[in-house]
């Protein structure tokens, strides 16, 4: 174990401006936290779909929202600029509210998010962040993505921990476990050595990745938020390299991941 090597990896990652990171390591009875600009407020992008999913699941559980209510794919109104999983389905196919939750979180789908926010109201989504004590997170309605706002690495880890809790939010946790994979963190990991529950996000100049990594010998919680990046592919690669270096510094081998990508 080398705390100095872990801190050096984070410092190297943050040499480019506009980058934030927070890592929490738990090994046996030892815990360690390291970060760079962990409380810097960044555009949240798709990370706030975590709050939408939690709000929807809670609304279904308390009867405020009918999880069995169905909408046709055509009715959900994918816009020409949307890159939506709904485009793969027959326009006449019906999708339930509960399925909207899974599709939104598992594929970061904007049409699904927009409909859920319409059904819930943005105040209920904002209340999730407030109850989780994400004090630095702001939430508002976004015409394109359904939900917009700002957050920090610290708050993003709190949102992911809540959404990936299989006891409190089983539907959200399942969607994260089966989300579409990407190559950010941990770099090069495959289904053979990890289980992924994962939320990422990418906008112009912005790339985020937030994950819980269940490792052989311990657990790592990692959050990378960025903005004003000249090449998000390069940034994503740097996230992966940094994560691997931190894990190596602690002698950890990734077995399972729960992750959220935003942007």
> How far apart are the C-alpha atoms of 211 and 103, rounded to whole Å?
19
- Residue 86, classed as helix, strand or coil, is helix
Single pTM value for the model: 0.89
Res 214 pLDDT > 60: yes
Task: Count how many residues are written for the chain.
Answer: 263
Average pLDDT for the chain = 88
Q: Domains of the chain by range and CATH?
A: 3-261 (3.40.710.10)
Res 262 pLDDT > 60: yes
Q: Residue 195: which pLDDT band, with cuts at 50, 70 and 90?
A: very low
Residue 80 CB burial class (10 angstroms; 0-12, 13-18, ≥19): exposed
CB 22 within 8 A of CB 223: yes
């Amino acid at each position: 174990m080398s705390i100095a090597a872990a801190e050096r990896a984070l410092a190297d990652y943050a040499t480019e401006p506009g980058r934030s990171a927070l890592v929490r390591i738990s090994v046996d009875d030892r815990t360690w936290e390291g970060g760079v600009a962990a409380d810097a407020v960044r555009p949240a992008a798709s990370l706030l779909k975590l709050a939408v999913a939690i709000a929807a699941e809670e609304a279904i559980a308390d009867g405020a929202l009918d999880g069995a209510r169905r909408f046709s794919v055509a009715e959900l109104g994918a816009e020409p600029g949307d890159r939506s999983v709904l485009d793969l389905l027959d326009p006449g196919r019906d999708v339930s509210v509960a399925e909207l939750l899974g599709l939104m979180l598992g594929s970061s789908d904007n049409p699904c998010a927009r409909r859920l926010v319409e059904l819930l109201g943005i105040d209920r989504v904002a209340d999730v962040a407030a109850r989780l004590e994400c004090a630095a997170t702001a939430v508002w309605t976004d015409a394109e993505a359904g939900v917009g706002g700002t957050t920090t690495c610290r708050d993003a880890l709190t949102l992911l921990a809540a959404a990936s809790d299989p006891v409190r939010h089983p539907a959200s946790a399942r969607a994260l476990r089966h989300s579409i994979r990407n190559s950010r963190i941990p770099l090069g990991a495959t289904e053979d050595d990890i289980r992924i529950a994962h939320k990422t996000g990418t906008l112009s100049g912005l790339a985020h990745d937030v994950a819980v990594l269940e490792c052989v010998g311990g657990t790592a919680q990692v959050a990378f938020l960025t903005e004003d990046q000249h090449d998000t592919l390069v940034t994503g690669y740097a996230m992966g390299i940094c994560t691997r270096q931190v894990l190596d510094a602690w002698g950890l081998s990734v077995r399972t991941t729960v992750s959220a990508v935003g942007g």
